[in-house]
């Protein structure tokens, strides 16, 4: 039934192994790693376990794309009850699922710029693919409305406050919002007198993610890739963080979907309201996170929990985000 999917389920409870036998665990881990090195086209493995796993299983869990079990960080996320959602995502968008898991495996081994480059190339390729075209045909786009003041700036001495200002659309990350945000960060990067930057969102949410009406509207996928790299919010935040560190702070609330967490995750400090909820919905569109999420989130929560978020399309609440390290403070 699963032969056509880009992933396979590995029943960890059924393995004939003593998890406290270090030699046996190392041998199994080596075998799993060699499997992917010999044939990178092999389906990724999703481990499932009903019993609680311990750190002793870590070398094996390291080789898996995701483990659905109660067990050690950063490998384990969710539970076996999430498996139907994971399989449904892979069934709905097998191509995007494969690309997602490949990115999450490779990106943490690269620096941020290389990771963003790989993500952008993959995202642009998927824009030309059948899974995204199917979603776009079923979800006709409207003409994006002009936004009068997409980003508001206020300066108090060395502190620059940046407020995304499209509350009627939950601050959807459209071109105008993106460009206003990048202009604000460029100002902070060029002005040494700015020693603190705080980014917030107006209205009920920080950011509901990319403006769906703009998805796939670039003239061609090559142009889309070039723009994505030249106007990368995650890259701009990464560069400014090198100077400001924790003084580059995002204060999040409400919905933080897609770009609404992919970009803030690059910051030195992320603060969330207790009601904040996070989500990565891109596989449902036949895409992967395209605002830096395959780079910024794994650096905070690991590639396995990032995969869980994308494959289940589940919300992560503020308390869990704090436990995982997706945010640094809840207040």
- Which segments within 228-302 are labelled E, that is strand? 248-252, 255-257, 269-272, 277-279
Contacts of 220 (CB under 8 A, 6+ apart): none
Cβ atoms < 10 Å from Cβ of 10: 18
What would the pLDDT profile of 274-305 be if each residue is shown by its tens digit?
A: 999 999 999 999 999 999 999 999 999 999 99
What is the predicted pLDDT for the residue at 36? 80
Report percent pLDDT > 70 for the chain. Answer: 99
Sign of CA dihedral 291, 111, 229, 130: negative
What ranges make up the beta strands (E) of the chain?
7-11, 44-48, 66-68, 151-156, 159-164, 196-201, 248-252, 255-257, 269-272, 277-279, 316-317, 329-330
pLDDT of 210-219, one tens digit each? 999 999 988 8
pLDDT at residue 113 tops 60: yes
pLDDT digits (tens, 9 = 90+) for 84-101: 999 999 999 999 999 999
pTM of the model: 0.95
Partner residues linked to 200 by β-bridges: 163
Task: Answer whether residue 26 shows pLDDT above 90.
Answer: yes
Tens-place pLDDT, residues 40-70:
888 999 999 999 999 999 999 999 999 999 9
Mean pLDDT rounded to a whole number for the chain = 96
pLDDT confidence bin for 248, thresholds 50/70/90: very high
Token digits of residue 112: 């941020």
Residue linked to tokens 């902070």: 188
For residues 29-34, give the mean pLDDT: 94
Residue 3 has pLDDT above 70, yes or no: no
- How many other C-beta atoms are found inside a 10 Å radius of the C-beta of residue 189? 16
CA angle 173, 175, 177 (to 5 degrees): 55
User: Per-residue pLDDT for 2 more than 80?
Assistant: no
**199 within 8 A of 162, measured Cβ to Cβ:** yes
Put residue 216 in one of left, alpha, beta given phi > 0 → left and psi -120 to 50 → alpha: left
Tokens of 106: 């490779």
All structural domains of the chain = 7-92 (no CATH), 114-330 (3.90.226.10)
Strand 7-11 relative to strand 44-48, pairing: parallel
End-to-end alpha-carbon separation of the chain, Å? 46
* Range in 24-28, 85-89, 218-222, 235-239 the model is least confident about: 218-222
Q: What is the mean pLDDT of residues 91-112?
A: 95
Task: Note if the bond before 74 is cis, omega within 30 degrees.
Answer: yes
Does residue 1 surpass a pLDDT of 80? no
Tokens of 12: 């960890």
Taking a C-beta distance cutoff of 8 angstroms, is the pair 5, 94 a contact? yes
pLDDT range class, residue 147, cuts 50, 70, 90: confident
């Amino acid at each position: 039934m699963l032969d056509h999917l880009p992933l396979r389920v590995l029943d960890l409870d059924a393995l004939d192994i003593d998890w406290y036998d270090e030699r046996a665990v190392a041998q199994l881990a080596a075998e799993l790693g060699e499997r992917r090195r010999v044939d990178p086209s092999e389906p990724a493995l999703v481990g499932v376990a009903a019993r609680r796993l311990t750190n002793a299983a870590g070398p094996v869990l390291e080789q898996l794309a995701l483990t659905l079990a109660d067990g050690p960080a950063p490998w384990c996320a969710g539970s076996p009850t999430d498996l139907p959602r994971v399989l449904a995502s892979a069934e709905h968008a097998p191509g995007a699922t494969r690309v997602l898991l490949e990115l999450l495996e490779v990106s943490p081994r690269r620096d941020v710029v290389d990771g963003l480059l790989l993500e952008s190339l993959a995202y642009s390729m998927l824009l030309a693919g059948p899974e995204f075209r199917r979603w776009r045909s079923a979800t006709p786009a409207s003409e994006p409305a002009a936004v009068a003041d997409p980003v508001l700036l206020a300066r108090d001495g060395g502190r620059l406050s940046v407020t995304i200002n499209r509350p009627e659309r939950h601050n959807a990350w459209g071109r105008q919002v993106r460009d206003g945000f990048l202009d604000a960060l460029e100002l902070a990067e060029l002005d040494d007198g700015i020693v603190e930057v705080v980014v917030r969102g107006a209205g009920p949410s920080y950011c509901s993610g990319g403006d769906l009406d703009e998805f796939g509207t670039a003239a061609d996928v090559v142009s889309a890739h070039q723009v994505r790299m030249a106007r990368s919010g995650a890259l701009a935040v990464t560069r400014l963080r090198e100077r400001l560190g924790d003084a580059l702070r995002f204060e999040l609330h409400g919905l933080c979907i897609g770009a609404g967490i992919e970009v803030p995750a690059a910051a030195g400090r992320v603060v969330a309201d207790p009601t904040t909820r996070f989500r990565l919905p891109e596989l449902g569109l036949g895409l992967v996170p395209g605002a830096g999420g395959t780079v910024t989130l794994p650096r905070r929560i690991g590639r396995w929990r990032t995969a869980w978020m994308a494959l289940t399309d589940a919300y992560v609440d503020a308390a869990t985000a704090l436990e995982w390290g997706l945010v640094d403070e809840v207040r």
